[in-house]
Amino acid sequence: MGNDELEIKNDTEVPVTRPNANYQLSYPDTEEIKPENITFYYSRERRLAKAPKEVRDLYSEQKKTRFGLLGSLVADRPRKILFFMIFFLCILIFLLSRLGFLDDTYILDGNNIEISGTIYEGNTIIKIKKTIKNTEPYTGAVDIAVSPFHDTAGGGGFTGIDQSSYYTHRVFFSLETEEEYRFVVPYNSSELLLVLQNDRNELQMKINPH
C-alpha cells in the first residue's frame, strides 16, 4: 500500500505507512509488477556454471532408482550374463533331477525306485523305497534277486545274476504314494547286484552296502 493509504481500525481511519517509507522502491507500490521484470539474485544455474566440474557432474546425475534385487542382478552386461547362466543351470539341474539322472533313483513302470544297502552287526540289509511317479503306476508282485557282484566282463559291467549263488525275495507294490521294504540278504560283500522283475519289465543295478 502507498503512504497515503488508510487502514480502518475501530471504525476510525488510521493512515498506514511502511517502516521503510523513505526508501526509494524500484517500482511504486501502486504499480503492478510483471514476473518477467523481477530479478532473482540467487540463480542455481549461474552458481553451478561457476562450480567445479565434479560438482556439476553431481547435480547432472540422474535420480537414483530405488533398490531392487533383480535390478542389481542385471545392472550391467556382465551381471546379466552371470544371472542368466545361473538361471539356466538351475533349470537344467531341476530337469535332470526330475528325470532321475542326478541321484540313485530308477524307474520301473511308473514307480520311482531307490535302493540302498546297510551293514548292521554283520548283516546286510537291503532297503527299497518306492514312490509313485505317474497316474498309472504298476501295482502287484515284484521279484527281487540278489547276488554278489562279479566283474567277469571287465570294466565294471553287469554280467547278470550268478545262478550258482543268489537270493530271492518278493514284494508287492500298491497304490500308496510311498512304500518302503527292508530285507536281509546272506552276503557280506562290498558290491551287490540286484535285479527287480515284474510281469512287464526288468531292472538291474549295482549297490555298495556300507
Pull the grid cell for residue 112. Answer: 520311482
Q: Cell 566282463 appears where? A: 153
Which sequence spans correspond to the domains of the chain?
6-60, 69-98, 105-207
pLDDT per residue as tens digits for the range 91-142: 988 777 666 565 567 888 989 899 888 988 888 999 999 999 888 899 999 9
Angle, CA 124 vertex, CA 120 and CA 165 arms, to 5°: 160
Q: Report domain 105-207's class.
A: mainly beta
Q: What is the pLDDT of residues 164-183, one digit of tens each?
A: 678 899 999 999 999 999 99
Please give the model's pTM, rounded to 2 decimal places. 0.49
**What is the pLDDT, as a whole number, of residue 93?**
82
Question: What pLDDT score was predicted for residue 140?
Answer: 92
Q: Which three cell numbers stand for residue 183?
A: 530285507
User: Nearest to residue 115, comparing CAs of 59, 65, 34, 182?
Assistant: 182
CB neighbours of residue 171 within 10 Å: 16
DSSP single-letter state for residue 50: T
Specify the higher pLDDT residue, 96 or 151: 96
